[in-house]
Amino acid sequence: MSHSALPSRNGGQILIQQLRQHGARRVFLVPGESYLPCIDALNEHRDAIEPIVCRQESGAGYMAEAYGKLTNEPGICFVTRGPGATNASIAVHTAYQDSTPMILFIGQVGNDFIEREAFQEIDYRRMFGPMAKWVAQIDDTARIPEYIARAYSVATSGRPGPVVLALPEDTLWGEACVADVAPRPRLHSYPSQQQLSELHQHLERAERPFLLLGGSGWTEQAQREIAGFADRYALPVGVAWRRLECFDHRHENFVGHVGNGMHQALRERLKASDLIIALGTRLGEPTTEGYSWIESPVPSQTLVHVYPDPEELGHVYRPDLAINADVVGFSASLATLAPTRPPAWQQETTAARQAYLDTLTPLEAPGPLSLDRVTKTVDRMLDGHGCITVGAGNYALYAHRYIRFGGLGSSLAPTVGAMGYGLPAAISSKLEYPQRPAVCFAGDGCFQMNLQELGVALQYRLGIVILLFNNGMWGTIRAHQEHDFPGREIALTFTNPEFDSLIRAYGGQGEIVEDDAVFEAAFARALTFTEQNHLPALIELRYDADGIAPGERLSAIRAAALERRDSAMPQEPPHD
Protein backbone atom coordinates (compact mmCIF):
# COMPACT_ATOMS: atom_id res chain seq x y z
CA MET A 1 0.00 0.00 0.00
CA SER A 2 1.37 3.41 -0.96
CA HIS A 3 1.68 6.09 1.69
CA SER A 4 -0.91 8.18 -0.14
CA ALA A 5 -3.49 5.43 0.48
CA LEU A 6 -2.78 5.22 4.21
CA PRO A 7 -4.95 7.10 6.72
CA SER A 8 -3.57 10.27 8.26
CA ARG A 9 -2.96 9.93 11.99
CA ASN A 10 -1.44 12.15 14.62
CA GLY A 11 1.75 11.10 16.41
CA GLY A 12 -0.05 9.86 19.50
CA GLN A 13 -2.29 7.57 17.45
CA ILE A 14 0.66 6.20 15.50
CA LEU A 15 2.66 5.55 18.67
CA ILE A 16 -0.06 3.77 20.64
CA GLN A 17 -1.00 1.65 17.62
CA GLN A 18 2.65 0.68 17.27
CA LEU A 19 2.76 -0.36 20.94
CA ARG A 20 -0.27 -2.55 20.34
CA GLN A 21 1.42 -4.08 17.30
CA HIS A 22 4.34 -5.07 19.52
CA GLY A 23 2.14 -6.69 22.16
CA ALA A 24 1.96 -4.03 24.88
CA ARG A 25 -0.89 -4.98 27.23
CA ARG A 26 -0.39 -2.41 29.96
CA VAL A 27 1.13 1.05 30.25
CA PHE A 28 2.05 2.76 33.51
CA LEU A 29 1.79 6.51 33.51
CA VAL A 30 1.49 9.76 35.39
CA PRO A 31 -0.48 11.99 33.00
CA GLY A 32 1.07 15.16 31.61
CA GLU A 33 -0.02 17.71 29.05
CA SER A 34 3.23 17.22 27.15
CA TYR A 35 2.01 13.90 25.73
CA LEU A 36 -1.78 14.38 25.61
CA PRO A 37 -2.15 12.91 22.09
CA CYS A 38 -0.82 9.58 23.43
CA ILE A 39 -3.27 9.63 26.33
CA ASP A 40 -6.16 10.40 23.96
CA ALA A 41 -5.12 7.61 21.59
CA LEU A 42 -5.52 5.03 24.37
CA ASN A 43 -9.28 5.43 23.83
CA GLU A 44 -8.94 3.48 20.60
CA HIS A 45 -7.26 0.53 22.36
CA ARG A 46 -9.37 -0.03 25.47
CA ASP A 47 -9.77 -3.68 24.45
CA ALA A 48 -6.04 -4.36 24.33
CA ILE A 49 -4.01 -1.87 26.41
CA GLU A 50 -4.76 -1.13 30.05
CA PRO A 51 -3.56 2.26 31.33
CA ILE A 52 -2.49 2.21 34.99
CA VAL A 53 -2.66 5.72 36.43
CA CYS A 54 0.06 6.05 39.08
CA ARG A 55 0.61 8.67 41.74
CA GLN A 56 4.27 9.52 41.19
CA GLU A 57 6.67 8.81 38.36
CA SER A 58 9.10 6.70 40.38
CA GLY A 59 6.22 4.39 41.29
CA ALA A 60 5.10 4.22 37.66
CA GLY A 61 8.64 3.45 36.53
CA TYR A 62 9.10 0.72 39.15
CA MET A 63 5.83 -0.91 38.09
CA ALA A 64 6.95 -0.91 34.47
CA GLU A 65 10.35 -2.34 35.44
CA ALA A 66 8.68 -5.09 37.47
CA TYR A 67 6.43 -5.87 34.48
CA GLY A 68 9.58 -6.32 32.39
CA LYS A 69 10.99 -8.76 34.95
CA LEU A 70 7.75 -10.75 35.06
CA THR A 71 7.14 -11.00 31.31
CA ASN A 72 10.51 -10.57 29.56
CA GLU A 73 8.72 -7.91 27.48
CA PRO A 74 9.49 -4.20 27.81
CA GLY A 75 7.59 -2.51 30.61
CA ILE A 76 6.03 0.64 29.16
CA CYS A 77 6.02 3.89 31.13
CA PHE A 78 4.87 7.39 30.13
CA VAL A 79 5.87 10.49 32.08
CA THR A 80 5.83 14.18 31.42
CA ARG A 81 8.89 16.29 30.78
CA GLY A 82 11.28 17.80 33.31
CA PRO A 83 10.25 16.85 36.86
CA GLY A 84 8.35 13.82 35.58
CA ALA A 85 11.45 12.51 33.85
CA THR A 86 13.73 13.15 36.81
CA ASN A 87 11.32 11.32 39.12
CA ALA A 88 11.28 8.35 36.75
CA SER A 89 15.06 8.21 36.41
CA ILE A 90 15.47 5.92 39.44
CA ALA A 91 13.47 3.22 37.64
CA VAL A 92 15.62 3.60 34.53
CA HIS A 93 18.75 3.13 36.62
CA THR A 94 17.15 0.07 38.22
CA ALA A 95 16.26 -1.41 34.82
CA TYR A 96 19.80 -0.78 33.60
CA GLN A 97 21.63 -2.50 36.45
CA ASP A 98 18.97 -5.23 36.68
CA SER A 99 19.08 -5.90 32.91
CA THR A 100 15.32 -5.44 32.58
CA PRO A 101 13.60 -4.58 29.28
CA MET A 102 11.78 -1.26 29.64
CA ILE A 103 10.78 1.70 27.47
CA LEU A 104 10.30 5.12 29.04
CA PHE A 105 8.44 7.71 26.97
CA ILE A 106 8.91 11.33 28.01
CA GLY A 107 6.99 14.34 26.77
CA GLN A 108 9.29 17.04 25.42
CA VAL A 109 9.02 20.68 24.46
CA GLY A 110 8.32 21.33 20.78
CA ASN A 111 11.20 21.65 18.36
CA ASP A 112 10.28 25.30 17.85
CA PHE A 113 11.26 25.92 21.51
CA ILE A 114 14.19 23.52 21.81
CA GLU A 115 17.59 24.73 23.11
CA ARG A 116 16.04 27.80 24.80
CA GLU A 117 15.71 26.26 28.25
CA ALA A 118 11.99 26.29 27.70
CA PHE A 119 9.57 25.31 30.45
CA GLN A 120 10.75 21.97 31.92
CA GLU A 121 13.19 21.38 29.06
CA ILE A 122 15.98 18.81 29.56
CA ASP A 123 18.40 17.24 27.13
CA TYR A 124 17.44 13.61 27.73
CA ARG A 125 20.31 12.19 25.72
CA ARG A 126 22.75 13.73 28.16
CA MET A 127 20.62 12.97 31.22
CA PHE A 128 19.92 9.30 30.56
CA GLY A 129 22.90 8.41 28.38
CA PRO A 130 24.97 6.60 31.06
CA MET A 131 22.02 4.56 32.40
CA ALA A 132 20.09 3.43 29.33
CA LYS A 133 20.88 1.21 26.35
CA TRP A 134 19.57 3.82 23.92
CA VAL A 135 18.25 7.37 24.30
CA ALA A 136 16.67 9.18 21.38
CA GLN A 137 14.24 11.92 20.47
CA ILE A 138 11.63 11.38 17.74
CA ASP A 139 11.60 14.59 15.73
CA ASP A 140 9.62 13.31 12.73
CA THR A 141 6.05 12.02 13.12
CA ALA A 142 6.46 9.70 10.14
CA ARG A 143 9.40 7.90 11.81
CA ILE A 144 7.54 6.91 14.99
CA PRO A 145 6.98 3.26 13.86
CA GLU A 146 10.67 2.95 13.03
CA TYR A 147 11.73 4.23 16.47
CA ILE A 148 9.27 2.03 18.37
CA ALA A 149 10.36 -1.10 16.50
CA ARG A 150 13.99 -0.29 17.22
CA ALA A 151 13.22 0.45 20.87
CA TYR A 152 11.69 -2.99 21.31
CA SER A 153 14.64 -4.61 19.60
CA VAL A 154 17.24 -2.77 21.69
CA ALA A 155 15.40 -3.29 24.99
CA THR A 156 15.12 -7.06 24.54
CA SER A 157 18.26 -8.06 22.63
CA GLY A 158 21.62 -9.08 24.08
CA ARG A 159 21.71 -7.89 27.66
CA PRO A 160 18.16 -6.48 28.11
CA GLY A 161 17.76 -2.98 29.44
CA PRO A 162 15.93 0.34 29.30
CA VAL A 163 15.32 2.59 26.30
CA VAL A 164 14.31 6.25 26.68
CA LEU A 165 12.42 8.07 23.92
CA ALA A 166 11.63 11.78 24.10
CA LEU A 167 8.46 12.95 22.34
CA PRO A 168 8.42 16.61 21.25
CA GLU A 169 4.94 18.11 21.23
CA ASP A 170 5.04 18.92 17.52
CA THR A 171 5.89 15.27 16.77
CA LEU A 172 2.84 14.06 18.71
CA TRP A 173 0.42 16.69 17.39
CA GLY A 174 1.75 16.38 13.85
CA GLU A 175 0.11 14.04 11.35
CA ALA A 176 1.53 11.53 8.90
CA CYS A 177 0.44 8.79 6.51
CA VAL A 178 2.77 5.98 7.53
CA ALA A 179 2.56 2.18 7.78
CA ASP A 180 3.01 0.33 11.04
CA VAL A 181 6.11 -1.81 11.52
CA ALA A 182 5.48 -5.42 12.50
CA PRO A 183 7.42 -6.83 15.47
CA ARG A 184 10.25 -9.25 14.82
CA PRO A 185 10.73 -12.58 16.61
CA ARG A 186 12.97 -12.55 19.67
CA LEU A 187 16.50 -13.60 18.79
CA HIS A 188 18.46 -15.93 21.04
CA SER A 189 22.19 -16.58 21.09
CA TYR A 190 23.69 -20.07 21.42
CA PRO A 191 27.05 -21.62 22.28
CA SER A 192 29.08 -23.32 19.59
CA GLN A 193 29.72 -27.05 19.60
CA GLN A 194 33.37 -26.32 20.36
CA GLN A 195 32.38 -24.33 23.45
CA LEU A 196 30.04 -27.09 24.62
CA SER A 197 32.85 -29.59 24.17
CA GLU A 198 35.19 -27.40 26.26
CA LEU A 199 32.54 -27.06 28.96
CA HIS A 200 32.19 -30.83 29.05
CA GLN A 201 35.96 -31.20 29.41
CA HIS A 202 36.04 -28.71 32.28
CA LEU A 203 33.34 -30.71 34.04
CA GLU A 204 35.19 -33.97 33.44
CA ARG A 205 38.32 -32.54 35.10
CA ALA A 206 36.54 -30.80 37.97
CA GLU A 207 36.42 -32.02 41.55
CA ARG A 208 34.39 -29.26 43.20
CA PRO A 209 32.21 -27.50 40.56
CA PHE A 210 29.51 -24.92 41.26
CA LEU A 211 26.68 -23.65 39.02
CA LEU A 212 25.71 -20.01 39.65
CA LEU A 213 22.58 -18.67 37.97
CA GLY A 214 21.44 -15.07 37.57
CA GLY A 215 20.46 -12.39 35.13
CA SER A 216 17.22 -11.88 33.26
CA GLY A 217 15.35 -13.41 30.36
CA TRP A 218 14.62 -16.78 31.98
CA THR A 219 11.68 -18.88 30.81
CA GLU A 220 10.04 -21.91 32.39
CA GLN A 221 11.51 -24.08 29.65
CA ALA A 222 15.02 -22.73 30.25
CA GLN A 223 14.67 -23.39 33.97
CA ARG A 224 13.57 -26.98 33.32
CA GLU A 225 16.54 -27.50 31.01
CA ILE A 226 19.03 -26.06 33.46
CA ALA A 227 17.54 -28.18 36.25
CA GLY A 228 18.03 -31.26 34.07
CA PHE A 229 21.65 -30.28 33.46
CA ALA A 230 22.19 -29.84 37.20
CA ASP A 231 20.61 -33.24 37.85
CA ARG A 232 22.77 -35.07 35.31
CA TYR A 233 25.98 -33.61 36.69
CA ALA A 234 24.84 -33.52 40.35
CA LEU A 235 25.85 -29.85 40.43
CA PRO A 236 25.30 -27.64 43.47
CA VAL A 237 23.26 -24.64 42.30
CA GLY A 238 23.18 -21.15 43.75
CA VAL A 239 21.42 -17.98 42.62
CA ALA A 240 23.13 -14.62 42.33
CA TRP A 241 22.32 -11.59 44.47
CA ARG A 242 18.58 -10.92 44.36
CA ARG A 243 18.03 -13.32 41.47
CA LEU A 244 16.09 -15.62 43.79
CA GLU A 245 13.57 -16.59 41.10
CA CYS A 246 16.16 -18.14 38.77
CA PHE A 247 15.92 -21.63 40.29
CA ASP A 248 13.38 -23.51 42.39
CA HIS A 249 14.69 -23.57 45.96
CA ARG A 250 12.91 -26.86 46.60
CA HIS A 251 15.10 -28.63 44.05
CA GLU A 252 17.52 -31.04 45.73
CA ASN A 253 20.52 -29.35 44.09
CA PHE A 254 19.75 -25.84 45.32
CA VAL A 255 22.29 -24.77 47.95
CA GLY A 256 21.66 -21.09 48.58
CA HIS A 257 21.57 -17.43 47.69
CA VAL A 258 25.04 -16.17 46.72
CA GLY A 259 26.06 -12.68 47.77
CA ASN A 260 25.67 -10.28 50.66
CA GLY A 261 24.33 -12.10 53.71
CA MET A 262 25.04 -15.65 52.49
CA HIS A 263 25.91 -18.26 55.07
CA GLN A 264 29.53 -19.03 55.86
CA ALA A 265 29.49 -22.64 54.63
CA LEU A 266 28.39 -21.49 51.18
CA ARG A 267 31.04 -18.76 51.12
CA GLU A 268 33.74 -21.30 51.93
CA ARG A 269 32.39 -23.72 49.33
CA LEU A 270 32.57 -21.06 46.62
CA LYS A 271 36.15 -20.19 47.54
CA ALA A 272 37.14 -23.85 47.51
CA SER A 273 35.44 -24.62 44.18
CA ASP A 274 37.72 -25.47 41.30
CA LEU A 275 35.10 -24.70 38.62
CA ILE A 276 32.52 -21.90 38.61
CA ILE A 277 29.93 -21.96 35.83
CA ALA A 278 28.32 -18.51 35.93
CA LEU A 279 25.23 -18.36 33.73
CA GLY A 280 23.41 -15.10 33.05
CA THR A 281 25.03 -13.19 35.92
CA ARG A 282 27.50 -10.34 35.60
CA LEU A 283 29.28 -11.42 38.81
CA GLY A 284 28.75 -7.95 40.21
CA GLU A 285 29.85 -6.46 43.52
CA PRO A 286 26.96 -7.71 45.74
CA THR A 287 27.08 -11.26 44.31
CA THR A 288 30.84 -11.55 44.80
CA GLU A 289 30.77 -9.73 48.18
CA GLY A 290 33.02 -6.97 46.98
CA TYR A 291 34.88 -9.17 44.47
CA SER A 292 36.17 -11.27 47.36
CA TRP A 293 35.21 -14.95 47.07
CA ILE A 294 36.17 -14.81 43.39
CA GLU A 295 39.17 -12.60 42.69
CA SER A 296 39.47 -10.07 39.89
CA PRO A 297 40.81 -9.99 37.26
CA VAL A 298 42.03 -13.61 37.23
CA PRO A 299 40.07 -15.94 39.53
CA SER A 300 41.75 -18.78 41.36
CA GLN A 301 38.84 -21.00 40.27
CA THR A 302 38.37 -22.09 36.67
CA LEU A 303 35.65 -19.76 35.39
CA VAL A 304 33.16 -20.51 32.65
CA HIS A 305 31.21 -17.32 32.08
CA VAL A 306 28.06 -17.40 29.95
CA TYR A 307 26.51 -14.02 29.18
CA PRO A 308 24.47 -12.47 26.34
CA ASP A 309 26.62 -9.33 26.03
CA PRO A 310 30.13 -9.97 24.68
CA GLU A 311 31.40 -6.73 26.22
CA GLU A 312 30.72 -8.11 29.70
CA LEU A 313 32.84 -11.22 29.11
CA GLY A 314 36.28 -10.30 30.40
CA HIS A 315 35.11 -6.88 31.60
CA VAL A 316 35.76 -7.64 35.29
CA TYR A 317 36.85 -11.28 35.28
CA ARG A 318 38.97 -13.08 32.73
CA PRO A 319 37.16 -16.39 32.13
CA ASP A 320 38.84 -19.62 31.10
CA LEU A 321 35.89 -20.18 28.80
CA ALA A 322 33.75 -17.23 27.65
CA ILE A 323 30.45 -18.06 25.97
CA ASN A 324 28.38 -15.33 24.37
CA ALA A 325 24.88 -16.78 24.77
CA ASP A 326 21.66 -15.89 26.55
CA VAL A 327 20.12 -18.09 29.22
CA VAL A 328 17.45 -19.47 26.86
CA GLY A 329 19.86 -20.36 24.06
CA PHE A 330 22.49 -21.81 26.39
CA SER A 331 20.04 -23.90 28.41
CA ALA A 332 18.51 -25.33 25.24
CA SER A 333 21.97 -26.44 24.06
CA LEU A 334 22.79 -28.45 27.18
CA ALA A 335 20.67 -31.48 26.27
CA THR A 336 23.62 -33.05 24.47
CA LEU A 337 25.88 -32.91 27.55
CA ALA A 338 26.08 -35.77 30.03
CA PRO A 339 28.84 -37.08 32.31
CA THR A 340 30.82 -40.12 31.21
CA ARG A 341 30.86 -41.44 34.79
CA PRO A 342 28.93 -40.76 38.00
CA PRO A 343 30.02 -37.34 39.29
CA ALA A 344 32.54 -37.70 42.09
CA TRP A 345 31.16 -34.68 43.91
CA GLN A 346 27.66 -36.06 44.54
CA GLN A 347 28.25 -36.26 48.30
CA GLU A 348 29.60 -32.71 48.31
CA THR A 349 26.40 -31.49 46.66
CA THR A 350 24.32 -33.39 49.21
CA ALA A 351 26.33 -31.80 52.02
CA ALA A 352 25.90 -28.34 50.49
CA ARG A 353 22.16 -28.91 50.25
CA GLN A 354 22.00 -29.92 53.90
CA ALA A 355 24.01 -26.85 54.90
CA TYR A 356 21.41 -24.72 53.10
CA LEU A 357 18.52 -26.54 54.79
CA ASP A 358 20.20 -25.92 58.15
CA THR A 359 20.04 -22.15 57.50
CA LEU A 360 16.25 -22.36 57.36
CA THR A 361 16.15 -22.94 61.12
CA PRO A 362 15.36 -19.52 62.64
CA LEU A 363 18.23 -17.82 64.39
CA GLU A 364 17.89 -16.27 67.83
CA ALA A 365 16.56 -12.72 67.92
CA PRO A 366 15.97 -10.21 70.73
CA GLY A 367 12.51 -9.37 71.99
CA PRO A 368 9.13 -11.08 71.74
CA LEU A 369 8.85 -10.65 67.95
CA SER A 370 11.43 -12.58 65.92
CA LEU A 371 11.65 -11.56 62.27
CA ASP A 372 13.33 -14.91 61.62
CA ARG A 373 10.28 -16.82 62.87
CA VAL A 374 7.89 -14.39 61.17
CA THR A 375 9.52 -15.00 57.79
CA LYS A 376 9.57 -18.76 58.32
CA THR A 377 5.83 -18.57 58.98
CA VAL A 378 5.30 -16.65 55.74
CA ASP A 379 7.28 -19.29 53.85
CA ARG A 380 5.27 -22.13 55.36
CA MET A 381 1.89 -20.50 54.74
CA LEU A 382 2.62 -19.46 51.15
CA ASP A 383 4.25 -22.83 50.41
CA GLY A 384 6.00 -21.66 47.25
CA HIS A 385 2.99 -19.80 45.82
CA GLY A 386 2.82 -16.14 44.95
CA CYS A 387 5.42 -13.40 44.76
CA ILE A 388 7.57 -11.80 47.46
CA THR A 389 8.78 -8.27 46.72
CA VAL A 390 11.38 -6.20 48.56
CA GLY A 391 13.02 -2.83 48.21
CA ALA A 392 16.32 -2.14 49.94
CA GLY A 393 17.31 -2.56 53.55
CA ASN A 394 18.48 -5.18 56.03
CA TYR A 395 14.88 -6.37 56.47
CA ALA A 396 15.13 -7.91 52.98
CA LEU A 397 17.79 -10.33 54.22
CA TYR A 398 15.10 -12.22 56.12
CA ALA A 399 13.26 -13.02 52.89
CA HIS A 400 16.55 -13.87 51.17
CA ARG A 401 17.40 -16.35 53.91
CA TYR A 402 14.12 -18.02 54.84
CA ILE A 403 11.76 -17.89 51.84
CA ARG A 404 12.00 -20.90 49.53
CA PHE A 405 11.30 -19.24 46.20
CA GLY A 406 9.56 -21.33 43.58
CA GLY A 407 10.95 -20.08 40.28
CA LEU A 408 9.75 -17.51 37.77
CA GLY A 409 7.59 -14.74 39.16
CA SER A 410 8.22 -15.73 42.79
CA SER A 411 10.55 -12.80 43.56
CA LEU A 412 10.81 -9.16 42.54
CA ALA A 413 13.90 -7.54 44.03
CA PRO A 414 16.07 -4.71 42.67
CA THR A 415 19.69 -5.83 42.36
CA VAL A 416 20.60 -2.15 42.25
CA GLY A 417 19.36 -1.80 45.84
CA ALA A 418 16.70 0.81 45.10
CA MET A 419 14.49 1.83 48.00
CA GLY A 420 10.74 2.25 47.53
CA TYR A 421 10.60 -0.63 45.01
CA GLY A 422 8.65 -3.25 46.94
CA LEU A 423 5.15 -1.71 46.92
CA PRO A 424 5.04 -0.77 43.20
CA ALA A 425 6.50 -4.18 42.33
CA ALA A 426 3.82 -5.97 44.35
CA ILE A 427 1.16 -3.93 42.53
CA SER A 428 2.65 -4.90 39.17
CA SER A 429 2.74 -8.57 40.18
CA LYS A 430 -0.90 -8.52 41.26
CA LEU A 431 -1.93 -6.85 38.01
CA GLU A 432 -0.15 -9.55 36.01
CA TYR A 433 -1.21 -12.50 38.19
CA PRO A 434 -4.47 -11.56 39.97
CA GLN A 435 -4.96 -15.04 41.44
CA ARG A 436 -1.53 -15.28 43.07
CA PRO A 437 -0.65 -13.79 46.48
CA ALA A 438 1.59 -10.72 46.32
CA VAL A 439 3.44 -10.00 49.56
CA CYS A 440 5.59 -6.90 49.95
CA PHE A 441 8.36 -6.91 52.55
CA ALA A 442 9.00 -3.24 53.34
CA GLY A 443 11.06 -1.35 55.87
CA ASP A 444 9.38 1.66 57.46
CA GLY A 445 11.73 4.00 55.60
CA CYS A 446 11.58 2.08 52.31
CA PHE A 447 7.76 1.91 52.39
CA GLN A 448 7.35 5.65 52.87
CA MET A 449 9.27 6.41 49.68
CA ASN A 450 6.34 5.22 47.56
CA LEU A 451 3.42 4.66 49.91
CA GLN A 452 1.28 6.95 47.73
CA GLU A 453 0.98 4.07 45.26
CA LEU A 454 -1.50 2.51 47.69
CA GLY A 455 -3.88 4.67 45.69
CA VAL A 456 -3.26 2.41 42.70
CA ALA A 457 -4.10 -0.67 44.79
CA LEU A 458 -7.31 1.06 45.90
CA GLN A 459 -8.29 2.24 42.41
CA TYR A 460 -7.67 -1.06 40.63
CA ARG A 461 -8.80 -3.27 43.54
CA LEU A 462 -5.53 -5.09 44.11
CA GLY A 463 -5.27 -7.35 47.16
CA ILE A 464 -1.63 -7.11 48.13
CA VAL A 465 -0.23 -7.85 51.60
CA ILE A 466 2.38 -5.50 53.10
CA LEU A 467 4.61 -6.66 55.93
CA LEU A 468 5.99 -3.43 57.34
CA PHE A 469 9.19 -3.79 59.38
CA ASN A 470 9.07 -0.88 61.81
CA ASN A 471 12.22 -0.14 63.79
CA GLY A 472 12.01 3.65 63.55
CA MET A 473 15.32 4.18 61.78
CA TRP A 474 17.36 3.74 58.65
CA GLY A 475 18.57 0.37 59.84
CA THR A 476 21.13 -0.58 57.21
CA ILE A 477 22.89 2.77 57.52
CA ARG A 478 22.73 2.51 61.30
CA ALA A 479 24.59 -0.81 61.12
CA HIS A 480 27.29 0.80 58.96
CA GLN A 481 27.43 3.75 61.32
CA GLU A 482 27.98 1.53 64.35
CA HIS A 483 30.67 -0.37 62.46
CA ASP A 484 32.61 2.72 61.40
CA PHE A 485 31.66 5.28 64.09
CA PRO A 486 30.59 3.20 67.11
CA GLY A 487 28.53 4.94 69.75
CA ARG A 488 28.04 8.10 67.67
CA GLU A 489 24.51 7.52 66.35
CA ILE A 490 22.93 10.65 64.86
CA ALA A 491 20.51 11.64 62.09
CA LEU A 492 19.18 8.14 61.41
CA THR A 493 15.91 7.91 63.38
CA PHE A 494 12.43 9.14 62.52
CA THR A 495 8.93 9.32 63.93
CA ASN A 496 6.45 7.16 62.06
CA PRO A 497 2.73 7.58 61.44
CA GLU A 498 0.13 5.02 62.57
CA PHE A 499 0.53 2.68 59.63
CA ASP A 500 -2.55 0.61 60.54
CA SER A 501 -4.66 3.78 60.34
CA LEU A 502 -2.95 4.85 57.13
CA ILE A 503 -3.87 1.66 55.29
CA ARG A 504 -7.50 2.04 56.33
CA ALA A 505 -7.56 5.42 54.61
CA TYR A 506 -6.85 3.49 51.39
CA GLY A 507 -9.71 1.06 52.00
CA GLY A 508 -7.46 -1.62 53.42
CA GLN A 509 -7.03 -3.57 56.63
CA GLY A 510 -4.28 -2.88 59.15
CA GLU A 511 -2.91 -4.63 62.22
CA ILE A 512 -0.01 -4.19 64.62
CA VAL A 513 1.95 -7.29 65.66
CA GLU A 514 4.48 -7.23 68.48
CA ASP A 515 4.68 -10.94 69.39
CA ASP A 516 5.40 -14.14 67.46
CA ALA A 517 2.41 -15.83 69.01
CA VAL A 518 -0.12 -13.70 67.12
CA PHE A 519 1.59 -13.27 63.75
CA GLU A 520 0.31 -16.42 62.02
CA ALA A 521 -3.32 -15.55 62.72
CA ALA A 522 -2.75 -11.95 61.60
CA PHE A 523 -1.12 -13.06 58.34
CA ALA A 524 -3.98 -15.48 57.68
CA ARG A 525 -6.47 -12.64 58.21
CA ALA A 526 -4.51 -10.42 55.83
CA LEU A 527 -4.46 -13.07 53.10
CA THR A 528 -8.18 -13.71 53.50
CA PHE A 529 -9.01 -10.00 53.43
CA THR A 530 -7.04 -9.41 50.24
CA GLU A 531 -8.60 -12.42 48.51
CA GLN A 532 -12.16 -11.51 49.46
CA ASN A 533 -12.07 -7.71 49.19
CA HIS A 534 -9.37 -7.14 46.53
CA LEU A 535 -7.85 -4.37 48.63
CA PRO A 536 -4.51 -4.06 50.42
CA ALA A 537 -3.75 -5.32 53.91
CA LEU A 538 -0.85 -4.20 56.10
CA ILE A 539 0.75 -5.83 59.13
CA GLU A 540 3.03 -3.50 61.05
CA LEU A 541 5.80 -5.51 62.73
CA ARG A 542 7.13 -3.72 65.80
CA TYR A 543 10.32 -5.36 66.97
CA ASP A 544 13.47 -4.78 69.00
CA ALA A 545 15.67 -2.53 66.85
CA ASP A 546 18.79 -4.25 68.22
CA GLY A 547 17.99 -7.17 65.91
CA ILE A 548 19.35 -5.58 62.76
CA ALA A 549 19.74 -8.66 60.48
CA PRO A 550 19.47 -12.44 60.76
CA GLY A 551 21.76 -13.44 63.63
CA GLU A 552 23.16 -9.91 64.04
CA ARG A 553 22.63 -7.24 66.69
CA LEU A 554 23.53 -3.58 66.66
CA SER A 555 24.94 -3.85 70.17
CA ALA A 556 27.35 -6.57 69.04
CA ILE A 557 28.43 -4.56 65.98
CA ARG A 558 29.13 -1.58 68.24
CA ALA A 559 31.03 -3.67 70.81
CA ALA A 560 33.23 -5.24 68.13
CA ALA A 561 33.96 -1.83 66.58
CA LEU A 562 34.91 -0.35 69.95
CA GLU A 563 37.20 -3.29 70.64
CA ARG A 564 38.92 -2.84 67.27
CA ARG A 565 39.35 0.86 67.92
CA ASP A 566 40.75 0.34 71.40
CA SER A 567 43.18 -2.35 70.28
CA ALA A 568 44.43 -0.09 67.50
CA MET A 569 45.16 2.84 69.84
CA PRO A 570 48.83 3.26 70.82
CA GLN A 571 49.54 2.20 74.37
CA GLU A 572 51.24 4.66 76.72
CA PRO A 573 54.57 3.43 78.12
CA PRO A 574 54.46 2.45 81.78
CA HIS A 575 55.57 5.16 84.26
CA ASP A 576 58.63 4.57 86.44
Domain annotation covers residue 436: yes
Tally of CA atoms within 13 A in the half-sphere of 266 that contains its CB = 28
d(CA 66, CA 422): 10
Domain shared by 403 and 551, yes or no: yes
Residue 576 in domain: no
The pLDDT value given to residue 576: 53
Q: Does any domain span residue 285?
A: yes
pLDDT in tens, 47-98: 999 999 999 999 999 999 999 999 999 999 999 999 999 999 999 999 999 9
349 Rama sector, left if φ>0, alpha if ψ -120 to 50, beta otherwise: alpha
367: pLDDT strictly greater than 80: yes
- What are the pLDDT digits (tens) for 232-249? 999 999 999 999 999 999
Q: Which residue range is the domain that position 11 belongs to?
A: 3-176
Q: Which residues contact 87 (CB under 8 A, 6 or more apart)?
A: 56, 57, 58, 61, 79
d(CA 512, CA 370): 14
Q: What is the mean pLDDT of the chain?
A: 95
Read off the amino acid at residue 30.
Answer: V
Residue 569 in this model has a pLDDT that exceeds 90: no
Which of residues 143, 176, 209 is at a domain's end? 176
Q: Give domain status of residue 183, yes or no.
A: no
Q: What is the CA radius of gyration of the chain?
A: 25
Number of domains forming the structure of the chain: 3
- Whether 220 is covered by a domain: the verdict is yes
Same domain assignment for residues 139 and 201? no
Confidence of residue 266 (pLDDT cuts 50, 70, 90): very high
* Residues 447 and 538 grouped into a single domain: yes
Pair 319, 304: CB distance under 8 Å: yes
Q: Looking at the structure, do residues 281 and 158 belong to the same domain, yes or no?
A: no
Q: Are residues 351 and 381 in the same domain?
A: no
* Angle subtended by helix axes 554-568 and 475-484, to nearest 10: 20
Q: Per-residue confidence at 119, pLDDT binned at 50, 70, 90?
A: low
pLDDT score at 565: 85
Whether 260 and 336 share a structural domain: yes
**Side-chain-side CA neighbours of residue 61 (13 Å):** 29
Q: Which of 303, 326, 359 is the last residue of a domain?
A: 359
CB 324 within 8 Å of CB 225: no
Percent of all residues in the chain with a pLDDT value above 90, rounded to a whole number: 91
Comparing C-alpha atoms, which of 406, 456, 404, 405 is closest to residue 430? 456
> Is beta strand 552-553 parallel, antiparallel or unpaired with respect to 547-549?
antiparallel
Residue 553 lies in a domain: yes
Condensed to tens digits (0 to 9), the pLDDT of residues 409-441 reads 999 999 998 999 999 999 999 999 999 999 999
Assess whether 72 and 203 both reside in one domain. no
Classify residue 251: in a domain, yes or no.
Answer: yes
Question: What pLDDT does residue 540 have?
Answer: 98
CA distances from 77 to 164, 339, 462 (A): 10, 47, 20
The verdict on residue 569 lying in a domain is no
Residues 283 and 263 in one domain: yes
Q: Do 156 and 263 fall into the same domain?
A: no
Q: Are residues 228 and 321 in the same domain?
A: yes
| pLDDT greater than 60 at residue 191 | yes
Measured CA to CA, the distance from residue 230 to residue 447 in angstroms comes to 38
Residue 458 near residue 535, CB atoms below 8 Å: yes
The CATH number of whichever domain residue 280 belongs to comes to 3.40.50.1220
Here the CATH number for the domain that contains residue 378 is 3.40.50.970
What's the pLDDT at 225? Answer: 98
Residue 240 makes CB contacts below 8 A (sequence gap 6+) with 212, 213, 214, 215, 246, 258, 259, 280, 281, 283, 284, 287
The beta-strand segments (E) located in 236-320 are: 237-239, 254-257, 275-279, 302-307
Residue 342 shares a structural domain with residue 198: yes
The model's pLDDT over 131-186, given as tens digits with 9 standing for 90+, comes to 999 999 999 999 999 999 999 999 999 999 999 999 999 999 999 999 999 998 88
Q: Give the count of alpha carbons within 13 A of 40, CB side only.
A: 13
Q: Cα separations (Å) of 233 from 210, 281, 463? A: 10, 20, 42
Q: Is residue 167 domain-shared with residue 56, that is, in the same domain?
A: yes
The last residue of a domain, from among 338, 359, 380: 359
